């Protein structure tokens, strides 16, 4: 797969009224995902006609857990008859993907992968299979995570040295090279890293997609004499996955 566009949103503070005009009632998780996906499509330089054959794959470990906890708090405080239907609809993991499709007027297939371990890695595997099957010509594949007080508390107890990281990263990938090209990217099932620059990560679930975006930008930088990067990620069970990026 070839990366032709990257969109990165580091936190929920960024506001863009034009992009988010139809997502005013969305939660912060959905807004971050919409902004990152929008930026990746714009960065690719593709025309609007490409949306007819554009898919979306969104990976998340914890999904909209902040909204889910708010919804559960409302049930406890007001009873299940009086809870907010808006909160309930946004507690669904696929809500962010729906906002992305609506915002970009996408007509291709969409999928949300909710997996605690290696969700972004799994999203890359699915994206490769979609392109090989010619289900779509281009795919927006990315991840989104949000930090809330509940998750901050869990991390402080389980891994006090691990800082929470939130945000969203999207890549526009295609089976063929596009004019705006960063590098190729693929999830690999072996550990053959011969001749590659090794980039290791061991952090929150969103870290892997952020690190892969950094690697893609490194490969595009002509001043760096790097032709291949292997990103090695580890989950909480010490399982290792590898993503290969080539210039």
Tell me whether residue 206 is in a domain: no
Tell me whether residue 196 is in a domain: no
The structural domain count of the chain equals 1
Tell me whether residue 174 is in a domain: yes
Tell me whether residue 144 is in a domain: yes
CATH number where 97 lies: 3.40.47.10
Tell me whether residue 204 is in a domain: no
pLDDT tens-digit series, residues 170-210: 999 999 888 788 999 998 866 666 667 777 766 666 778 88
pLDDT tens-digit series, residues 199-222: 776 666 677 888 899 999 999 887
Nearest to 120 by CA among 167, 154, 71: 167
Tell me whether residue 85 is in a domain: yes
Tell me whether residue 188 is in a domain: no
pLDDT tens-digit series, residues 69-105: 888 888 888 888 888 888 888 888 889 999 999 899 9
For 29, the domain range is 2-181
Tell me whether residue 73 is in a domain: yes
């Amino acid at each position: 797969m070839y990366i032709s566009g990257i969109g990165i949103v580091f936190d929920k503070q960024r506001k863009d009224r034009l992009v988010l005009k139809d997502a005013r009632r969305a939660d912060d998780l959905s807004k971050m995902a919409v902004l990152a996906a929008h930026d990746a499509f714009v960065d690719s330089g593709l025309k609007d006609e490409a949306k007819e054959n554009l898919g979306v794959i969104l990976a998340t470990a914890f999904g909209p857990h902040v909204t889910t906890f708010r919804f559960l708090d409302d049930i406890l405080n007001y009873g299940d008859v009086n809870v907010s239907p808006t909160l309930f609809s946004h507690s669904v993991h696929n809500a962010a993907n729906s906002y992305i499709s609506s915002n970009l007027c996408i007509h291709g297939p969409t999928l949300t992968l909710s997996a605690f371990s290696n969700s972004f890695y799994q999203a890359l595997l699915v994206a490769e299979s979609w392109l090989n099957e010619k289900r779509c010509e281009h795919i927006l594949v990315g991840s989104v995570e949000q930090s809330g007080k509940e998750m901050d508390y869990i991390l402080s107890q389980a891994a006090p040295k691990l800082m929470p990281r939130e945000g969203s990263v999207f890549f526009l990938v295609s089976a063929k090279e596009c004019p705006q090209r960063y590098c190729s990217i693929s999830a690999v099932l072996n550990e053959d890293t011969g001749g590659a620059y090794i980039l290791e990560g061991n952090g929150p679930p969103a870290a892997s997609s952020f690190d892969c975006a950094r690697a893609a930008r490194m490969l595009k930088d002509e001043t760096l004499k790097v032709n291949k990067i292997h990103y090695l990620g580890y989950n909480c069970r010490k399982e290792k996955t590898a993503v290969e990026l080539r210039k």
